[in-house]
Amino acid sequence: MTNKQTEGIKEVLLNEETEKIGRFIFSEQTWIDFGILAVRIAIIIAISIIVVQVGKYIIRKIFKIKLKGPIRKEERREQTLLKLLENTLSYVIYFSAILSILQEFNIDVKGLLAGAGVLGLAVGFGAQSLVKDVISGFFILFEDQFSVGDYVKIGTAEGKVEEIGLRTTKIKNFTGELFILPNGTITQVVNYSLKNSLAIVDVAIPFELGIEKVEKLIDAFLDSMSKDNPDLLGKPKLIGAHDFTEDSVIERIIVETKPMRHYDIARNISVGIKKHLDQEGIEIPYPILVSKSFNNQ
């Protein structure tokens, strides 16, 4: 077969393909099918958007009702769960919508999912630490172990939580150091911000000053202090003799405070007592601070 004959056959085939394409493009049935497909895809997208919006509205409504109820969890935990549920709903609905659209194009969704599962399994074996970090991060958020703004201690890292991600957690120390911890390595957390704190101040009263007289003056100061301090969750209590030395009795003062406010309250009490007793002409050694956090039972 000569080159001329070959070129002639190619030209005939090309003309036939062009004619088929032309018939397909300008066919009335083609545009009808295309219109039906476009309408079906638009309906799928519209339904998915409506379902997501309605679902988010229902979730917010449920949480709003809980917020008004007499029994409720911490507000930050509720906000975390609210956001998590909204995002999960969006991911599930939109993923289902994408699969439905692919089915409209006659794409084998089952085979695609099977391939994605095998790929995900392979990636999982190759990145087990990453998967562990993500799963741990999810449970940290879901269980509200700690939240942004909390003061926590995780291993050797202690400070304020700056950021929580699904893979890492960032904690900033009061001196400026930033700890970046993979969530998978977090095994034990001490959260000082979940419950109220306890401020403890020990005051040494020399025996010669008269213990009963000094106790009455301290009580008077504590009464005045509890009236105008929003961080106090009750009246500071002088619980009495805690210990003895050779020349004095150690009187202990305790008071419940808002989370992580015990340091400031303890300082205010100790400085206030010292000034108040000085004004009354009574000199005592500077009070001892023993402040700590505790969990309410």
Q: Are residues 82 and 108 in the same domain?
A: yes
- Say how many C-beta atoms besides its own lie within 10 A of residue 109's C-beta: 13
Is residue 117 scored above 80 in pLDDT?
no
| Alpha carbon distance 98, 90 (integer Å) | 12
Amino acid 110 reads K
| Alpha carbon distance 85, 105 (integer Å) | 31
Is residue 71 scored above 50 in pLDDT?
no
Domain count, the chain: 3
| DSSP track, 217-268 | HHHHHHHHHTTS-TTBSS--EEEEEEEE-SSEEEEEEEEEESTT-HHHHHHH
Q: Are residues 40 and 107 in the same domain?
A: yes
Q: Are residues 21 and 105 in the same domain?
A: yes
Q: Which of 59-63, 114-118, 281-285 has the highest mean pLDDT?
A: 59-63
138 in a domain, yes or no?
Answer: no
The model's confidence at residue 14, banded by pLDDT at 50, 70 and 90, is: low
**Residue 132 β-bridge partners:** none
135 in a domain, yes or no?
Answer: no
Is residue 143 scored above 50 in pLDDT?
yes
Look up the domain containing 149 and give its range. 143-191
Q: Are 199 and 266 in contact (CB under 8 A)?
A: yes
Is residue 297 scored above 50 in pLDDT?
no
The predicted structure's pLDDT at residue 296: 45
Is residue 22 scored above 80 in pLDDT?
no
CATH of the domain at 168: 2.30.30.60
Average pLDDT, the chain: 75
272 in a domain, yes or no?
Answer: yes
Average pLDDT (254-278) is: 81
Q: Are 223 and 180 in contact (CB under 8 A)?
A: no
Q: Are residues 248 and 274 in the same domain?
A: yes
Average pLDDT (156-167) is: 82
User: Three-state DSSP class for 174?
Assistant: coil
Average pLDDT (136-151) is: 80
pTM over 0.85? The answer is: no
CATH of the domain at 264: 3.30.70.100
User: Three-state DSSP class for 288?
Assistant: strand
Closest C-alpha to 222, from 197, 246, 239, 208 = 239
Domain boundary among 125, 155, 172: 125
pLDDT in tens, 184-226: 888 888 888 877 888 888 888 777 777 777 888 888 788 777 6
Is residue 152 scored above 50 in pLDDT?
yes
| Alpha carbon distance 88, 96 (integer Å) | 12
